[in-house]
Structure 1
């Protein structure tokens, strides 16, 4: 059906006059005013059970490693090196999962990929539950990491392709919200459950996801890319409600798809509509890891102990709760404040807090040096420097976690799902996910070497400079996608008029 006929039908239904240069915007408003979001939210909830499962995987190692390090069974007992691999092997699996997910979303679709990735989640936790040696623990963690990588790719894509522009930011931010909820769930469970029962509980969200996704539709854009117009209209009718004239949206998506072509070829990498968003997506993922989030979480337990929080398990729950609260705030304001503004505010907050962390460690090193000199000179020591500086560490950590949760936590994943043309979405998203998890593994495994080379203070000042570069990069290159359709975002990169 011709897109112009669909536009006229909608305008006639609204009693509008002849289309003007700003007419498209009024058409969008007229269409979206008729949309009902109830089933869209239901589909979003079913899909974000995947990120919650991913959060349980990330959070599981924190309560499990101390227990497995002291377990009576020598076949399962972890030494320091084994514990390090138990925690970090997830990132290797996730990097491979990103590549696998990029292939799967194009071959079998977004919905089936999401359903199938629940299998390695459940199977991985089952291997951990039944583990008889350390290698079974590694295998279970690698499988859950593989599922996490697929999930971190497919869920943002699924949500961006089924949500409309008025709520896409809010729903898209729920991906990171559910990740931190899963992390907090694992921390809370670790207070009351042993490592086997915690693994059993962690397998519940992916099981629910598989069941719930059976009743949800495939994304309209994928169906149209497969030439399934009738199924795409049915999916839109499910997502938009019975009153919305979904034929108009279907025609608009089809018209944009016709301009792009149907399949991805390597020659498309020369197209500015492909290489520009791909470059931005890769840099966002790289910068997210260079903010120092893993370093902050690494030091969280020590900082709380210095602040006289004797129960480190409770301290990790407090950190996770802070992330949940401010990620929820980001989701609520995302479609009002915009992505770019929140990224800049987030980057400034993290740059300030990591600078303060560097000052904290610098003062601590100086204090230790002075204390050593006092002991050598047999002079009486002054007041406890730890107590004097604890407020600086706690304040820095609070500001950093708040800033990360407001911007650089959820938004890179959201923007990744918005900026790629349909025909390259699987490939480009896979590259971004591989970049993110690859950088996470490298930074995590080399962090201690960096500390030895630059000292603690120097390392955090390096992270601070990276956060400052984040802000400059965002201001100069990251487009604002708030309130725009995916087709308008793609047209902006191509330098062509939006439909």
Structure 2
């Protein structure tokens, strides 16, 4: 079959127009593409139950101290940043489909290295490889889906990337609970052509292109969306979840983690179902306002409990939790539980899936590989900084100050959405490009 054969590409590039087989092929191809993000989510969720187990490991198994545990959780973001750069290059050279298939190599290799690890360096090396695969998958899957989907379902299918990520996280939590029990403890390459007739070998990116409105406007929007997603404080909330649930006297914090995962999956699914009706801007704005309220309440919890004797809320994120219950803080801990669940729901509806969806929609085809690579790089570098330095920020600003700072970033993200982010609902990729070019 030749590259130009319409039977190979055309059913995926046009609306079904009443043709059920064409619609089914689009959904089936999108599902196959999201299997990479599913592995991505499992890899992210794996670190939460794995770190306590590795810290208690007995010889000859490698054991993590506090510093190594911090790196075990954070090094995956460095690998993902490198994966974003690699994915941006790979998607234009090898094509979208082959790039998706190649993601499986570092995924399989990384878990094999972690399973066979004899020392801490092998564990960290495995996590670095995991991050590399996550970075490539988080770039290629949204790009591929945005290009095969017709406008009426592009929001639905694009949101399924984030849905599969949170399902993977939930599966990791469930696997950890099942394991812990009652204790807690390459195909043939072919030349591909884009709808504008250009092949990857004819595409290219030059710095001079950044002077063009059709390039620099979506570039600024894409990078800003990725930065605001991480500055919202979502990683800090996720890392502090177990502490909050324990202070609220949850007997099994592993089960609490599953509750968090279920909330993520449910509200990400809701976002996917309403994305093409409500629109991207509306969901981003509503999501941001919910995060402002919940993060402010979360900071208020820390402010109100900072003077309670024996309360563990004002210490660093990774500090041990007091085993003695503090009755004075239990009621306030429920404020934190409610705020955290509300934040996760709000994030899942908008700022979780939409930045990835918009990243795949707003760039012209001839620069999409490099531009999306830079966006993914920005996202994972910000994730690394927030993950690694949030404990230090809590010591400098106090916990309530750190979370109120995140609330301020959420306010800025809402304003940025209202004034800078265009609506892409129902538009073809060509119409979106024409909008930025002023045509």
8 A Cα contact 1:162 1:220, kept in partner: no
8 A Cα contact 2:193 2:200, kept in partner: no
Task: Give secondary structure in 2 for the equivalent of 1:332.
Answer: helix
| 2:385 paired residue number | 442
- For residue 100 of structure 2, the aligned residue among 111, 114, 123 is 114
8 A Cα contact 2:249 2:330, kept in partner: no
| 1:162 paired residue number | 148
8 A Cα contact 2:79 2:130, kept in partner: yes
Distance 1:47 1:136 in 2: 29
8 A Cα contact 1:55 1:181, kept in partner: yes
Superposed CA deviations along residues 32-59 of structure 1, whole A, max 9, x for unmatched, are 4457310111101111000000001101
If the length of structure 1 is used for normalisation, what is the TM-score?
0.78
Matched, 1:286 2:227: yes
Q: Which has the larger radius of gyration?
A: 1
Distance 2:208 2:247 in 1: 56
| 1:307 paired residue number | 248
Distance 1:184 1:143 in 2: 21
Matched, 1:386 2:372: no
| 2:346 paired residue number | 403
1:367 positional shift: 3.4
- For residue 357 of structure 2, the aligned residue among 394, 414, 427 is 414
1:263 positional shift: 3.3
Pairing of 1:353-372 with structure 2 (within 5 A)? 353-368=294-309
| 2:131 paired residue number | 145
1:386 positional shift: 1.3
1:218 positional shift: 8.8
Matched, 1:458 2:401: yes
Distance 1:182 1:364 in 2: 34
Superposed CA deviations along residues 455-489 of structure 1, whole A, max 9, x for unmatched, are 01111110111101110000000000000000000
Matched, 1:184 2:170: yes
| 2:199 paired residue number | 226
Task: Give secondary structure in 1 for the equivalent of 2:151.
Answer: coil
Distance 1:435 1:490 in 2: 22
Deviates more, 1:61-70 or 1:42-51: 61-70
1:277 positional shift: 0.2
Q: Cα 1:272–1:301, aligned 2, differ >3 Å: closer, same or farther? A: same
Greater than 3 Å deviation, 4+ residue runs: 31-36, 214-220, 366-370
Q: Cα 1:227–1:217, aligned 2, differ >3 Å: closer, same or farther? A: closer
8 A Cα contact 1:43 1:216, kept in partner: no
Unmatched runs of 5 consecutive residues or more in structure 2: 1-13, 181-185, 312-325
Superposed CA deviations along residues 292-321 of structure 1, whole A, max 9, x for unmatched, are 101111211111111211211111111011
Distance 1:362 1:369 in 2: 15
8 A Cα contact 2:98 2:189, kept in partner: no
8 A Cα contact 2:193 2:199, kept in partner: no
| 1:126 paired residue number | 112
Distance 1:68 1:399 in 2: 31
Distance 2:425 2:113 in 1: 43
1:368 positional shift: 3.8
8 A Cα contact 1:75 1:134, kept in partner: no
Distance 1:353 1:215 in 2: 50
Matched, 1:83 2:69: yes
1:75 positional shift: 5.1
8 A Cα contact 1:360 1:457, kept in partner: yes
Pairing of 1:463-482 with structure 2 (within 5 A)? 463-482=406-425
8 A Cα contact 2:93 2:200, kept in partner: no
Distance 1:397 1:282 in 2: 26
If the length of structure 2 is used for normalisation, what is the TM-score?
0.88
Pairing of 1:311-326 with structure 2 (within 5 A)? 311-326=252-267
1:431 positional shift: 0.5
